Structure 1
């Protein structure tokens, strides 16, 4: 599996990364053995970049990932987690499905982008992971806390990087404006942009990706399937975590027709597309089982000939100015 550096940090990530939200019970319960098998399968296909967060399953993602990786050589993988939500013990009953996770509601989340909150969040994450450091720490969804994130949280991350508690720092969000500001106004190493650079939408190309390239920093792309639509554009598919609008569904189905007519599954094209831009270092794919991991790896490894991109452009489904990867592997 090829790997690329995150900016100038010295931290490298494999081109295909493992998103560990699903193994924490995203939308439906996932057993511990099934989750461990998914991580093992990712390792077996060459994935060495794993992404998690306290938010995912109220810490379950971090605990499961740490357990699954504990016998792997620590210098043999890259792990990212996130800060900005503190998990507070909660005696409430029921589950966490209001936040999309099928886990018991043993804790509640408290937003905290203060310097102390960042340090506490990371300390708690290291305990759950069973590690003494993480490779990449990301500010997680600071949309409604912008000024505090820049004024307090970011300097705290910079300090933790200087201490060696983290090796690289950045932010992860579903929008591009603030991520661009992080790239231009701070010394982050990378940003994680979810859902905004896919076959369906290329908003990140307006400012985020050019800013990253100009600064010599990296972009990790999440949500390459736009929460499911580009994996299977069938009636009932989801787009941005809601039912796909009819027009968007039709567009995705037309894309599928173009790619499949050239012998390429839409999923393969969606996975490969982001690497047309040189600032993209990795794409993250969530998986809840070993079968899903192997499926993602198989599609990621499929060649996508130039004729696929040309066909999408000819039919007005992909703007002509959008960069596309060549036929070689990313």
Structure 2
């Protein structure tokens, strides 16, 4: 069994992240509204379970997730948790950006103020973004600051490095934040950032999962070489590994048939071993030594409890052997080691 509340030390920064962290996008009303009471109950359940890494962003609920996360953490000892937020999107009155709308033209985040997300990866925009995040959080600092999805608005790596990255380096030098990073779901961009800058952490969303391991070839080895810790997000690939059936989502849109078939093949092997597919999916990334934490969202205490249960479900070594034997995992993929 892998214990969710044990920490992995990131030697470069001295930060200790619980192996399972809580992502707060669902608490900002992603896909369905979440009440203040439900959000607080979920955060309380995570805290009572021993989770101490919390990730948020201005994007999540147009600031609502930051507000709810900060309101909960304000009365907790500041040294007892690790908190990350992100820069790159300023919240302003106005028409919604196309990235805020689903294929049917409806907002992704429900039951929240419909503010425009203005993409801004400039030096000044980054400083303003952090200042406004701290106001919403009601806290004096965050531990980790990520550049959020810079691939989503026709920017170049060079532009982001000259603007947002320069600001993040300055904030780290001034000890305003302890660690800086970038987070997105495109491995090629993350690889360019890892090569070009002195990042502490990278949030790899959906590209190192049981379904696909695009980050394994170049990105993860480079992270090991440079001492960059990896936070693995999107481990269910937007729901496909949670419910591999027609109608499932992948990258927040309808999953293509070939990926549904692959997810179903993974599920069949898990069923033969008497374990849920979700348990294999949530534990898989921690097999790689570069990965310091797995980040999953929850919109209720019940969902959080299920994530904890899946994370701590014992998995036999023969499961991974069979996945490799059937060509569903590569021979070189590091697998999680169960603990006493």
TM-score, scaled to structure 2: 0.93
Counterparts in 2 of 1:192-271, with a 5 A limit?
192-271=203-282
1:112 has 2:120 as partner: yes
**Correspondent of 1:121 among 114, 129, 135:** 129
Contact 1:7 1:217 in 2 (8 A): no
Counterparts in 2 of 1:1-330, with a 5 A limit?
1-90=5-94, 98-143=106-151, 144-145=154-155, 146-328=157-339
Name the CA shift for 1:212/1:91 in 2 (closer, same or farther; >3 Å): closer
Q: CA RMSD, aligned part only?
A: 1.5
Query: Which runs of 5 or more residues in structure 2 are unaligned?
Result: none
Structure 1 residue 99: deviation in Å?
Answer: 4.2
What are the Cα deviations for residues 39-90 of structure 1, in whole angstroms up to 9, with x where unaligned?
Answer: 1111111110000000111100000101111221111000000000011134
Name the CA shift for 1:276/1:51 in 2 (closer, same or farther; >3 Å): same
Structure 1 residue 106: deviation in Å?
Answer: 4.1
What are the Cα deviations for residues 163-197 of structure 1, in whole angstroms up to 9, with x where unaligned?
Answer: 12111000001111121222222111000010000
Contact 2:21 2:55 in 1 (8 A): yes
Separation in 2 of the partners of 1:199 and 1:328?
20
Name the CA shift for 1:327/1:104 in 2 (closer, same or farther; >3 Å): closer
Contact 1:83 1:122 in 2 (8 A): yes
Separation in 1 of the partners of 2:112 and 2:203?
28
Separation in 2 of the partners of 1:181 and 1:104?
35
Separation in 1 of the partners of 2:336 and 2:297?
22
Separation in 1 of the partners of 2:10 and 2:159?
25
Name the CA shift for 1:104/1:318 in 2 (closer, same or farther; >3 Å): same
Which secondary structure state, in structure 2, belongs to the residue aligned with residue 317 of structure 1? coil
Contact 2:28 2:112 in 1 (8 A): no
Which secondary structure state, in structure 2, belongs to the residue aligned with residue 101 of structure 1? coil
Contact 1:7 1:189 in 2 (8 A): no
Contact 1:114 1:152 in 2 (8 A): yes
What are the Cα deviations for residues 191-215 of structure 1, in whole angstroms up to 9, with x where unaligned?
Answer: 0010000111100001110010011
Structure 1 residue 112: deviation in Å?
Answer: 0.7
Contact 1:184 1:215 in 2 (8 A): no
Separation in 1 of the partners of 2:321 and 2:116?
48
What are the Cα deviations for residues 109-128 of structure 1, in whole angstroms up to 9, with x where unaligned?
Answer: 11111110000000000000
Which secondary structure state, in structure 2, belongs to the residue aligned with residue 151 of structure 1? helix
Name the CA shift for 1:266/1:73 in 2 (closer, same or farther; >3 Å): same
Structure 1 residue 311: deviation in Å?
Answer: 1.2
Contact 1:139 1:171 in 2 (8 A): yes
Structure 1 residue 222: deviation in Å?
Answer: 0.4
